[in-house]
Chains A and B, each alone.
Chain A
């Protein structure tokens, strides 16, 4: 089992550019979560999916953020346009039915300059 796979590991981009973060959940897991971690705000849940359907996107900071899960093995988090305050570590996690065993990916460290 390769675990939750996120790409890229690091991303540096200029303000105003579009950024796409990718996640491949563990096979068989039907819940997928996107978190953002900053020193100031800690770990924040941005959005989560169950069976590829977005269930709760109340944590998405603004319309510049969007997330999709076109199939059970792939999800994207897009920021357009990016701003310096979006700089953070973005984690993807997956779980079977949102219960035990939430597994996190290694994270994407995003820097917007």
Chain B
């Protein structure tokens, strides 16, 4: 069964510094996708970044990058130059793929990030 683990319930970072949010996953599929979502206090789920299991390069989207280490089954999110508006809950998620091709997206428990001024 697929599983997503985020071991950091809460993190603090100083404004303008970089921060890494950890995510490990477990799957027997060869084809899968990894996602990060941001949930601010207002509650909406905001898509940040996606990494496919066959993508050789780490995904980047502006200040967000995904440190994908396939052998370690980790997909850490790196936020560079943190801003006060980055304070939110961050979720790592995995879409199963392979022969089932079901597209089901499962989530980790989330990490709360607080950016200090």
Contact = CB atoms under 8 A, between A and B. Distances in A.
Interface in B54-112: 91, 95, 101-110
Contacts, number: 56
A43 interface: yes
B12 interface: no
Contacts of B108: 42
Interface in B25-42: 33, 35, 37
A48 B103 contact: yes
Contacts of B33: 99-100
26 contacts: A31-B103, A33-B105, A42-B108, A43-B91, A43-B110, A45-B106, A50-B103, A56-B102, A91-B45, A93-B45, A97-B103, A98-B101, A98-B102, A98-B104, A98-B105, A99-B33, A99-B95, A99-B103, A100-B33, A100-B50, A102-B47, A102-B95, A104-B44, A106-B43, A106-B44, A107-B44
